[in-house]
Chains A and B, each alone.
Chain A
Amino acid sequence: MTPDSPHAPDRWLNWPKQLTDRFFHKRVEEELGIYEAIIASSDDAIISKTLEGIITSWNQAAERLFGYSAQEAVGQPIMLIIPPELYHEEDGILCNLRQGRRIEHFETTRVRKDGTRIAVSLSISPVRDRSGTIIGAAKIARDITERRREIEERVRLAALVDSADVSIFSKTRDGVITSWNKAAEQMYGYAAQEIIGQPVTLLFPPDRQEEFLAIMEQILRGERVQLFETVRRRKDGTLVPVSVLVSPIYDEQGQVIGASDIAHDITERKRVEEQESLLAELSLGLVATLDPPEMLNRVASLLIPRLADWFAVDLLNAAGSLELCTLVHTDPEKVHWARKQRAQFPPDRNVSSGIAQVARTGQVQWYPDVPDDLLVAHVSSEEELALLRRMGYSSAILAPLLAQGKTIGVMSLVFAESGRTYDRRHLALAEEVGRRVGLALEHAQLHHDVQQSRDQLNIILHGVADGILLYAPENQILYANETAAHMMGFSSVQQLLEAQQSHLLAKYDILDEQGQPIPPTSLTHSRVFAGEREVQMVMRYREKGREEAERWSLVTSRPVMGLHGAVVLVVTIIHDITERMQVEQRKDAFISMASHELKTPVTSLKGFTAILQRRLSKQGDEQGLSYLARMDAQLKKLTSLISELLDISRMQSGQLPFRLEHCDFDALIEEVVDTMQAATTTHQIRMEGQTGARVSADPERLTQVLLNVLTNAIKYSPEAQEIVIRRWFNHEQAVVSVQDFGIGIDQVHHERIFERFYQVGDTVEKTYPGLGIGLYISHEIVTRHHGRMWVESRKGEGSTFFIALPLLAERTSV
């Protein structure tokens, strides 16, 4: 017995009336055994019951389906397996059975022993006795839970497809649409009933019909058409940008019978993309120029016609009023009219609408449409109204141009003849454009300001008489003014910058004041890069092979510090002192000449004085002799002045000869002291300390220095009786100090008394006598010995002069 032969139990149930027939008794028993076995092994639950609804038989499948054993179920009312809410079903079933009607494939719900509900399909047949009277019913129940679940799934799936927000439809191999979800209805504008059965090419724009063939070719090969972007046509003829995925649909044999088409409306995404590309192009356009009108024209050409028919920009000037800067429309005649309107009716600063309002508040103004009454409310005259009407404005956005939170102007975007309307999304875009344009304009303005101040600075720097150079590390010349370029023999700054330092060093001899070559690492800017704070030196430079064209400069280099205190740049100022040096040289030459010329007459004078001295001495004229002694003293002074002047002029020209030898520092000092002590009666020279040092010195010059200092000490302490000389040494120097107890020197003069021709003058007290060149010479001599000479003194408390000379290595090694 198969589930497909529901009549079999019917026949079996009819047989018991023949059981009494003895003739067939045995056969019948055999047959009965067979049927019982069949019933027992049936997959369908087979139950029989009386017309009263009492269960009379219960096979094994019934035990499995309902959970009751035959023992439990037989004798129980059939209500055992009927859910209480369905008890009424049984009445209907019994009613049908009494009338001898079969019930087939009645789907209902039954309840199992454990209380769970199961979906079953029931077939119920009446059971008659031999007389044909209906005595009960045989019920075959099949579990259809699984089948019902499948159906429900399919329904749910259909609902899901319908509720999806992507358009989903299917089509046959020929492109005939077979299903169509709700999203597809919305997207394409066709209802399911009107499009199903229609060719899918209805959805393709005329210029994309071949796309259908390409898709189907791929589908028929069994390939999926990966997500691609295209355009589809709506019922109303408008186009919609979509992203589409087409997949083949197979039958049970694996044959492609059609395709599913899933499409997504990408209008919004396209819009965002376009907006982003517009902003990107805008940014490029804004950085491409620093000229505001040019910049705004670029913006205009980007926005028209994509985002506006009209584009205008008003900028706030220094006085706070708006100035129309740019006004663009494709029609020049309209531009003319618009400009006329603006010229005749400038925006009123105080009105609470329009660009004046935006400029004041920094808030965007949005006019989705521009009704006539808005114009009427806005204008001040009939004439203006007429002009405005002529423009045919339909929608407008007035956005502030913002720079660092400040409103610098207003951008007007207007739709007119295109009849388009600005929506919220336009508004956000316009505000963003306003921010970017504002920032770019501000940037351009800053650049302009910087440029202007740089130009002004340049004019000043190029105008100054000093050469100015700006060095970066590695001796790179970053900047030079014209004077610097000309000083170095270039016709332009550009040439100098191209030549750089290496070229300069190759072209010029660069010498120090004494004519010694200066190595590149000792140039002033190099020394500042190496860490010195400010370096100043006199430099001589001349083009190689042109010694006669030597120039002199006072070169000063100063550092420019970076944020972290490191030297990032060095400014070098070259002050040409050639003229001054030439004057000095002429002066020195004159002094030299004059001193030589003085020597001969002084020689004569000395000679004649000597002659007179001899004569008066013979005559015993004591008074005459004393006069001659004075004369002789003055001649000695004159002689020493002449010799000092000569020393100076020779120092200046680097001609003062030095004959260095290893000297006994102590002995040299003692010799000078002895000489001085012998010549003075007023002062006692006291010596303290000893060094035992040997120094490299020109003994004649060093004697000159010591004599000068001692002479001064005596000269400037007329009231005192003592001079103290101290000698000592440290690890690198031998030092001698000469202390007097005289008039002293005010601190303000300490640095300068060693300068050439510097004289300590005092308006109240008497001026220091002497030319003041002795100290200069002494200082120079000590310096040339690589030593140091300085003074410590307070006015009225005497002075101490110090002379320090470097020790010879042999002494330090002792």
Chain B
Amino acid sequence: MKPPTDPGDILIIDDDPDILLMLQVLLQEEGYRVRITESGSQGERLCQEDPPALLILDLLLSGEDGRHVVQRLKQSRQTRQIPVVMMSAHPSAEHSAREAGVNAFLAKPFEIDQLLEVVHTLFHQEA
């Protein structure tokens, strides 16, 4: 599975550096270009400046609720189109996450194949 010629990239926001690293390596090995950040506000800015083709973020970011980040992005013209995958250790948060505007919800711990399938679907859908 190869990214398209104008692929765009994937932005990952998670305050856990291990998760960040794991997802970065995994997705890069799958052929995606990946940007990472541990900060919600930083990620939000990056989206405004250079919207990624897909955003993956955790629900609980340090000092920030991922759902609020998504809500704001979905309200902005610039970023409205970015598909969002949200991860959380709290499966019960799925409903509120979808209300905030996320396109997919992954309950931790998820299967890697499941992640890749979601990413693939959303990435190409947008493209």
Q: Is there contact, CB below 8 Å, between B26 and A610?
A: yes
- B22 is contacted by which of A596, A597, A608 (Cβ under 8 Å)? A608
Query: Which of the listed residues A601, A603, A607 has the most CB atoms from chain B within 10 Å of its own CB?
Result: A603
Residues from chain B with a CB closer than 8 A to the CB of A635 are: 109
- A603 is contacted by which of B25, B29, B90, B108 (Cβ under 8 Å)? B108
Question: How many Å lie between the Cα of A55 and that of B22 in the bound state?
Answer: 180
Question: How many Å lie between the Cα of A200 and that of B22 in the bound state?
Answer: 141
- A599 is contacted by which of B18, B26, B109 (Cβ under 8 Å)? B109
Residues from chain A with a CB closer than 8 A to the CB of B19 are: 600, 603-604, 607
Tell me if A304 counts as interface (CB < 8 A to partner B). Answer: no
Question: How many Å lie between the Cα of A635 and that of B19 in the bound state?
Answer: 16
Question: How many Å lie between the Cα of A607 and that of B110 in the bound state?
Answer: 9
Q: Whose C-beta in chain B lies nearest to the C-beta of A614?
A: B29
Chain A interface size, under 10 / 10 to 19 / 20 to 34 / 35 or more = 10 to 19
Interface positions of A from 603 to 621, Cβ below 8 Å from B: 603-604, 606-608, 610-611, 614
Known: A601-B18, A611-B26. A606 touches B89 (CB 8 A): no
Residues from chain A with a CB closer than 8 A to the CB of B109 are: 599, 602-603, 606, 635, 639, 642
Q: Is there contact, CB below 8 Å, between B26 and A602?
A: no
Question: How many Å lie between the Cα of A576 and that of B87 in the bound state?
Answer: 42
- The digit string for B93-119, where 1 denotes a CB below 8 A from any CB of A, is 000000000000000111110000000
Q: Is there contact, CB below 8 Å, between A604 and B26?
A: no
Question: How many Å lie between the Cα of A639 and that of B108 in the bound state?
Answer: 9
Tell me if B23 counts as interface (CB < 8 A to partner A). Answer: yes
Question: How many Å lie between the Cα of A597 and that of B16 in the bound state?
Answer: 12
Residues from chain B with a CB closer than 8 A to the CB of A608 are: 22
Q: Is there contact, CB below 8 Å, between A602 and B23?
A: no
Question: How many Å lie between the Cα of A554 and that of B7 in the bound state?
Answer: 64
Known: A599-B89, A601-B18. A607 touches B108 (CB 8 A): no
How many Å from the CB of B28 to the closest CB on chain A?
10
Q: Is there contact, CB below 8 Å, between B112 and A596?
A: no
Q: Is there contact, CB below 8 Å, between B110 and A603?
A: yes
Question: How many Å lie between the Cα of A636 and that of B71 in the bound state?
Answer: 33
Question: How many Å lie between the Cα of A606 and that of B108 in the bound state?
Answer: 10
Question: How many Å lie between the Cα of A642 and that of B22 in the bound state?
Answer: 21
Residues from chain B with a CB closer than 8 A to the CB of A607 are: 19, 22-23, 26, 112
Q: Is there contact, CB below 8 Å, between A600 and B22?
A: no
Question: How many Å lie between the Cα of A599 and that of B25 in the bound state?
Answer: 20
Known: A606-B111, A610-B112, A639-B109. A600 touches B16 (CB 8 A): yes
Q: Is there contact, CB below 8 Å, between B108 and A611?
A: no
Q: Is there contact, CB below 8 Å, between A604 and B22?
A: yes
Q: Whose C-beta in chain B lies nearest to the C-beta of A657?
A: B92
Q: Whose C-beta in chain B lies nearest to the C-beta of A592?
A: B90
Residues from chain A with a CB closer than 8 A to the CB of B25 are: 611
How many Å from the CB of B119 to the closest CB on chain A?
13
Known: A603-B108, A606-B109, A607-B19. A596 touches B26 (CB 8 A): no
Residues from chain A with a CB closer than 8 A to the CB of B108 are: 599-600, 602-603
Q: Is there contact, CB below 8 Å, between B89 and A600?
A: yes
Question: How many Å lie between the Cα of A606 and that of B115 in the bound state?
Answer: 11
Known: A611-B25, A639-B109. A596 touches B90 (CB 8 A): yes
Q: Whose C-beta in chain A lies nearest to the C-beta of B15?
A: A600
Question: How many Å lie between the Cα of A344 and that of B111 in the bound state?
Answer: 105
Question: How many Å lie between the Cα of A635 and that of B111 in the bound state?
Answer: 10
- The digit string for A612-634, where 1 denotes a CB below 8 A from any CB of B, is 00100000000000000000000
Residues from chain B with a CB closer than 8 A to the CB of A600 are: 16, 19, 89, 108
How many Å from the CB of A645 to the closest CB on chain B?
13
Interface positions of A from 576 to 600, Cβ below 8 Å from B: 595-597, 599-600
Residues from chain A with a CB closer than 8 A to the CB of B26 are: 607, 610-611
Residues from chain A with a CB closer than 8 A to the CB of B23 are: 607
Known: A610-B26, A610-B112, A639-B109. A604 touches B89 (CB 8 A): no
Question: How many Å lie between the Cα of A608 and that of B18 in the bound state?
Answer: 9
Q: Whose C-beta in chain A lies nearest to the C-beta of B30?
A: A614
How many Å from the CB of A292 to the closest CB on chain B?
75
- The digit string for B1-30, where 1 denotes a CB below 8 A from any CB of A, is 000000000000000101100110110010
How many Å from the CB of B109 to the closest CB on chain A?
4
Q: Whose C-beta in chain A lies nearest to the C-beta of B113?
A: A610
How many Å from the CB of B116 to the closest CB on chain A?
9
Q: Is there contact, CB below 8 Å, between B112 and A604?
A: no
Q: Whose C-beta in chain A lies nearest to the C-beta of B111?
A: A606
Residues from chain B with a CB closer than 8 A to the CB of A596 are: 89-90
Residues from chain B with a CB closer than 8 A to the CB of A602 are: 108-109
Can you spell out 17 A-B residue pairs with CB atoms less than 8 angstroms apart?
A: A596-B89, A597-B89, A599-B89, A599-B108, A599-B109, A600-B16, A600-B19, A600-B89, A602-B109, A603-B108, A603-B109, A604-B22, A607-B112, A608-B22, A611-B22, A611-B26, A635-B109
10 nearest A-B pairs in the assembled complex, by CB-CB distance: A607-B22, A599-B89, A610-B112, A599-B108, A602-B109, A596-B89, A603-B109, A604-B18, A603-B108, A604-B22
Given A603-B22, A604-B18, A606-B110, 10 other A-B contacts at CB below 8 A? A596-B89, A600-B108, A602-B109, A603-B87, A607-B112, A611-B22, A614-B29, A635-B109, A639-B109, A642-B109
